[in-house]
Structure formats: C-alpha cells, structure tokens
Amino acid sequence: MKAIAQNEFGDASVLSLQELPDPLVGPDQVLVKVRAASLNPVDWKIRAGYLQGALPHHFPLIPGWDAAGVVVAAGPAVQGYAPGDEVFGYLRKDHVQNGTYAELVAAPERGLAHKPASVSFEQAASLPLAGLTALQSLKAVNVGPGDTVLVHAASGGVGHLAVQIARALGAERVLGTASPRNHDFLRALGAEPVTYGDALVEEVAKLVGGEGKVDAAVDFIGGHALEVSPELVKDRARHSSVVDGKVLERGGHYVFVKPNHEELTWLGELAAAGKLTAEVQQVFPLAEAAKAQELLEGGHVRGKLVLTI
C-alpha cells in the first residue's frame, strides 16, 4: 500500500510517500480502505518526537489517528462490521506506527462507528478525535440544559465542534475565545465571541453580568486560558483542560481523549441531523501531507485539514 511515513523524528521534511506492507488485521480489527484522514496537532508533535515519553514509537512510522473509509475485511471476532460498510473512527493504538495517512489501516473495533450515508467521508474523518475530545471535555464538567459555557480556542479543530456539541447538550449560552478575525465564524456557530488576552475576565463579566462567571469552561489551548479558568467558573470543579495535567492542581479535570463507539455513533447521528458540522479549511491529496502538517503547525487553521486518499 501507499502511505505517508517517516523514518526519523524531525520537521515536515521527514515525511515521504512510501510503499509499505499492507497492515496485519487482528481478530478484533477490521481492515479499512481509507477515503479520508484528518489532521490533528498531535500528528506533528508525534512527527517531531514530542510524545516519545508517553507512547512507544516504531519506524517506519505512519502518522494519523482519524479516518473514514470502507471496510474490506473483518477479523473473526468482529461482530459489528462487514466488508462494504462505511465507517469512521478514532484509531489510536497503544503504540505509534500504523496510522491513518495510508491507503489501508487496521482499525480496532472499539474505535469505530458506522458512517451515516448523508455525511461525507471528509466530514466523517474530521469528527473522531476532535469531536470526542470536545464531547468528553464537556461531559467532564457536566454541561447540560441551561448552562452558560466558555470554550477556550473556540475556532480551532476541537473548539468549533465543542461550541456545537455544547448546544446539543442543552447549553443556553456558549462563549468562545478567538482572535477577532474569527468572531463572525463563531457567531455563525451560535457562540458569543470573546477576544483572547489579559482582559478576558473582564470581557466575560460584561457578557454574563451578575457575579461575572460562567457555569463551565473547557480549555483547548492552555497558557493563560488554563490560568484564568478557575476564576471564571462558579464552581472550580467545572473546568477542564486537554492541554496540561496541572489543571488537576486547580481543582479541574484533565481530559485525554479515549476511543468510544457509543459517543462516535452519537456524533455521527448529530452530523446526519445537521446539528454538527466540521469546518474544513482545506483538503489535500495524500502526497501533500507534509504541506498540510506545516500549515497546521503554523497555528492559524480554522477548523480542520483533511487528506483524501
């Protein structure tokens, strides 16, 4: 099969299109012909070697944890999928090597869901990691009907989905931090934009009135957002971060996204109902994965970048 892979850690230049053996398919896995794979910031961090202390890595290393495609074979213990099924999933394994920037991927059954027919492969591939991260972050702080929620980095790949998911969970108001150029984008999603910066506490107070605090906050950027979140929530236990485990020292929740079939299915149903849409800034062919990673690493992507295979 053709795949984008690297044989060493480094910048985007270490990525190349290679011919590699087809993946082995375990008893509880399915072989998926990938139609689309989305990029996430963790991809370039893996490429650069930043996650060496967290997970075992093996070369040649194929990046990517998100994919949508068609099942071509199923292991003997698989019960929920058969050849021809259209699926999407968050396909992180316990070691880093056989990712989704490839024509084929062996997918653990636990990380998959059936793709709704009305949802494109590009849209479906954009949902798993970012959508599950958003949903699990919101669940960690018990977002529900009537809440006012603050989403840090609300125009990013995770944040813009969190805005929509918070609404689907019943939140009455969603505030989102973003640079001014993305404020209209947030308004179109149903969020009230707030500008990043030292005046964040005061800006939130002006918007919500009363004691100047929100019911819950979710952090997808770290730094200043992590520092001020405890000041911005009525109950310090109702803030979470995916960026830094130090959130635990501040009374909040640290979220490291986990594969979850039921939650993926729910996200797919939400997308099929027109209540969840991934903003895809740009689509690249597989061979241009290095270019896509460079763009993502620059830090100014709105929504998602997608590879088509």
**Which residue ranges make up each domain of the chain?**
2-127+278-308, 130-254
Percent of the chain with pLDDT over 70: 100
Q: Is residue 38 within a helix (H) or strand (E), and if so which, with residue range?
A: strand 29-38
pLDDT exceeds 90 at position 183:
yes
Question: What tokens appear for 60 in the block?
Answer: 């040649």
Q: How far is CA 254 from CA 143, 150, 167, 218, in A?
A: 16, 16, 22, 10
241-288 pLDDT, tens digit each: 999 999 999 999 999 999 999 999 999 999 999 999 999 999 999 999
pLDDT tens across 284-308, in order?
Answer: 999 999 999 999 999 889 999 999 9
Q: pLDDT at position 198, please?
A: 81
Which positions ≥6 away from 209 have C-beta within 8 Å? none
Half-sphere exposure of 21 (CA within 13 A, CB side): 6
Distance of alpha carbon 201 from the chain centroid: 27
In the block, residue with structure tokens 């599950």: 132
94 neighbors 55 (Cβ within 8 angstroms): yes
Q: Which of 79-88, 97-106, 200-209 has the lowest mean pLDDT?
A: 200-209
130-254 has which CATH code?
3.40.50.720
Q: In the CATH hierarchy, which fold is given to the domain comprising 2-127+278-308?
A: Quinone Oxidoreductase; Chain A, domain 1 (3.90.180)
Per-residue pLDDT at 300? 86
Q: What's the pLDDT band for 167 if we cut at 50, 70, 90? A: very high
79 vs 30, 39, 83, 287, CA distance in Å?
10, 29, 12, 34
pLDDT band at 199, cuts 50/70/90? confident
Q: Are 151 and 304 in contact (CB under 8 A)?
A: no
0.85 cut: is pTM over it? yes
